[in-house]
Amino acid sequence: MSGEFRFLEDVALADAAFEASGDSPSELFKAAAQAVIETMVNPHTVSPTWQRVIEHQAPEIATLLFDWLSDIVYLKDAHGVVFREATAVVSEDRPHGGWKLRGTLTGEPIDPARHELRADVKAVTKHLYDVRHDEGREGGRWTARVVLDV
């Protein structure tokens, strides 16, 4: 099964919320990134002409995901780009402990005439923020709940 996300209604007023999940941390990170991207723009209206590789390390997977999603918002603001898709490879950082990410964001500079712009996401918040691993299933399922300030 691949990663997926669903938008959550009535979680926070004046904000956008979603729950993302995946069978692996990599699938979770990709699904969560796609939820942020689709909150900002219809990705089908964005061409893949701009690319940025993101690398992070963090002691906790929740911190790593928060930093990854925050980078998407930062790059939109600092470089004036919107995104079509994201890829992510997340692994445990052995022998140092913690987690590491190598992700790629693909998109292009914002063009309101061509892009179907949605919400202007200002930040990823810690409000109701949660990342968990359900080990009860075969291999487990990773899930995150995220609220975006729009």
| Per-residue pLDDT tens digits for 61-104 | 999 999 999 999 999 999 999 999 999 999 998 777 899 999 99
Question: Which residue range(s) make up the domain with 137?
Answer: 4-149
Where would I find the beta strands (DSSP E) of 1-98? 4-8, 15-22, 50-58, 81-92
Residue 137 pLDDT: 61
Q: How many CB atoms sit inside 10 A of residue 9's CB?
A: 7
Residue 135 pLDDT: 81
Instruction: Collect the ranges in the chain with pLDDT lower than 70.
Output: 1, 10-14, 137-139
CA distance 51 to 85: 10
Domain count, the chain: 1
90, two tokens: 């997340």
CATH number, domain with residue 74: 3.55.10.10
Residue 58 pLDDT: 96
* CB contact burial 109-136 (16+ within 10 A = b; e otherwise): ebeeeebeeeeebeebeeeeeebeeeee
Residue 63 pLDDT: 98
High-pLDDT (> 90) share of the chain, %: 81
Residue 145 pLDDT: 96
H helix or E strand, kind and range, residue 75: helix 61-79
